[in-house]
């Protein structure tokens, strides 16, 4: 469980939620947060107790092994937190313990994967990241229905863990949490952001090149007996990060879904590298222009029920009626080695470059024999 101790001025809740001045005030509040380093925090959870101190940014982490078994009739549990000094504070954290029915873990990026951010345009990205409130942010059509189906699994009650990893700052956690709730997207158990260390005197964020990869490594270790599904986008570094994860953990990744949001020719090489790594391990890569392509593949892989396709289509139609359909192509060979060889020879690059405007194509890369999710 991750938390933070800090001081912050009160919000101006009496002002209209869509008021620009209110949003700017909230930005200044989050930037002006004063972390409390070396604060003592105590946690109690089903008979386990632990005391930790916060780091230089006010963050604390608990890793508890409770001696008493948590109830099996629900997956969300309450952890009691106490901050005795400098001012006594009581709080509660919500802890997710996956049921034995779960069959895989989903790790997803947020920006340009779940919602439009425009990471390729830095000014637009910063505006959307810090100024827009939860109601103003726009989800990719169909993503809510798809993620609910992944969480439910094929039986409807798998409660597969949904982990979200982003390079966005912890300061917008509340906004993202509300956005997820508005879109009906399963919230977690964990929404991983990072500490930018931004203040009025230090306006540039700290570098954290390995932030995502380290977090994913930790989650692979935590859920050591479950396979993973990775979801990201082509706009920045997800293909590079996911390639290393697939190479370093062969056999652990069932599928990689990359939302195709960039037409930059420089990104094609990184996507090809990811495709080859995925193919070699016998897994699947879907370079998708829309949520429907991901959903159709997930149905074929046995991750979600067939009805999910129509649910995603309906949600997509309701939110993006004029969005054109994309063509779907496949690179499927009889063996992992032959599939990787086809990518190396330029088959994937050719399909990406021949896609027509305005929508890029969907491309599926996988051997004809695909692995199914295994019981833990």
Are 158 and 203 part of one and the same domain? yes
Q: What are phi and psi of 159, to 5 degrees?
A: 50, 50
- Which range of residues forms the domain containing residue 37? 2-96
Report the Cα 45 to chain-centroid distance in Å: 27
Residue 274 lies in a domain: yes
Distance CA 361, CA 194 (A): 33
Are 39 and 125 part of one and the same domain? no
Are 114 and 214 part of one and the same domain? yes
So what's the pLDDT on residue 315? 85
Residue 182 lies in a domain: yes
So what's the pLDDT on residue 132? 52
Residue 375 lies in a domain: no
Residue 75 lies in a domain: yes
Are 56 and 115 part of one and the same domain? no
So what's the pLDDT on residue 376? 45
Q: For 228, what's the count of Cα atoms within 13 Å in the CB-facing half-sphere?
A: 25
Q: List the chain residues with pLDDT less than 70.
A: 11-32, 118-138, 188-191, 193-209, 211, 262-263, 319-324, 355-358, 370-376
Are 55 and 132 part of one and the same domain? no
Residue 373 lies in a domain: no
Show the 3-state SS of 245-305. HHHHCCCCEEEEEEECCCCCHHHHHHHHHHHHHHHHCCCEEEEECCHHHHHHHHHHCCCCC
Give the torsion sign (CA, 55, 60, 63, 67).
Answer: positive
Are 67 and 115 part of one and the same domain? no
With CA atoms as reference, report the closest residue to 365 among 247, 216, 258: 258
Residue 374 lies in a domain: no
Are 7 and 145 part of one and the same domain? no
225 near 376, Cβ under 8 Å? yes
188 near 214, Cβ under 8 Å? no
Residue 372 lies in a domain: no
The last residue of a domain, from among 52, 67, 96: 96
CATH number at residue 204: 3.40.50
Are 75 and 195 part of one and the same domain? no
Distance CA 38, CA 116 (A): 37
**Considering the entire predicted model, what is its pTM?**
0.84
Are 125 and 142 part of one and the same domain? yes
With CA atoms as reference, report the closest residue to 163 among 145, 183, 147, 142: 147
Residue 256 lies in a domain: yes
Are 116 and 80 part of one and the same domain? no
Are 81 and 211 part of one and the same domain? no
Are 297 and 177 part of one and the same domain? yes
The last residue of a domain, from among 73, 96, 119: 96
Domain count, the chain: 2
The last residue of a domain, from among 96, 124, 153: 96
């Amino acid at each position: 469980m991750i938390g933070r101790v800090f001081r912050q001025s009160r919000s101006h809740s009496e002002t209209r939620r869509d008021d620009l001045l209110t949003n700017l005030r909230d930005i200044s509040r989050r930037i002006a947060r004063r972390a409390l380093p070396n604060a003592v925090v105590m946690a109690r959870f089903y008979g386990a107790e632990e005391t930790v101190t916060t780091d230089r940014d006010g963050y604390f982490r608990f890793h508890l092994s409770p001696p008493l078994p948590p109830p099996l009739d629900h997956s969300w549990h309450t952890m009691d937190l106490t901050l005795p000094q400098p001012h006594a504070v009581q709080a509660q954290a919500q802890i997710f313990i996956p049921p034995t029915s779960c069959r895989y873990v989903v790790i997803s990026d947020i920006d340009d994967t779940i919602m439009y951010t425009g990471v390729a345009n830095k000014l637009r990205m910063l505006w959307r990241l810090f100024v827009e409130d939860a109601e103003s942010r726009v989800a990719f059509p169909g993503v809510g229905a798809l993620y609910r189906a992944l969480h439910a699994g094929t039986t409807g009650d798998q409660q597969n863990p949904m982990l979200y990893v982003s390079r966005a700052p912890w300061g917008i956690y509340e906004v993202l949490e509300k956005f997820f709730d508005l879109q009906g997207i399963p919230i977690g158990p964990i929404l991983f952001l990072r500490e930018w260390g931004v203040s009025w005197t230090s306006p540039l964020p700290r570098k954290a090149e390995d932030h995502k990869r380290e977090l994913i490594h930790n989650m692979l270790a935590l859920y050591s007996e479950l396979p993973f599904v990775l979801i990201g986008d082509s706009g920045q570094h997800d293909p590079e990060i996911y390639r290393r994860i697939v190479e370093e953990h062969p056999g652990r990744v069932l599928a990689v879904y990359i939302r195709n949001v960039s037409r930059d020719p420089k990104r094609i090489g990184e996507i090809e590298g990811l495709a080859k790594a995925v193919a070699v391990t016998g897994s699947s890569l879907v370079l998708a222009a829309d949520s429907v392509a991901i959903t159709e593949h997930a149905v074929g892989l046995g991750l979600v029920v067939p009805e999910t396709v129509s649910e995603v289509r309906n949600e997509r139609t309701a939110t993006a009626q004029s969005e054109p359909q994309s063509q779907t192509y496949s690179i499927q060979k009889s063996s992992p080695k032959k599939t990787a060889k086809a990518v190396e020879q330029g088959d994937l690059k050719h399909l990406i470059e021949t896609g027509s405007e305005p929508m890029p194509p969907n491309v599926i890369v996988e051997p004809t024999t695909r692995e199914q999710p295994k019981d833990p």
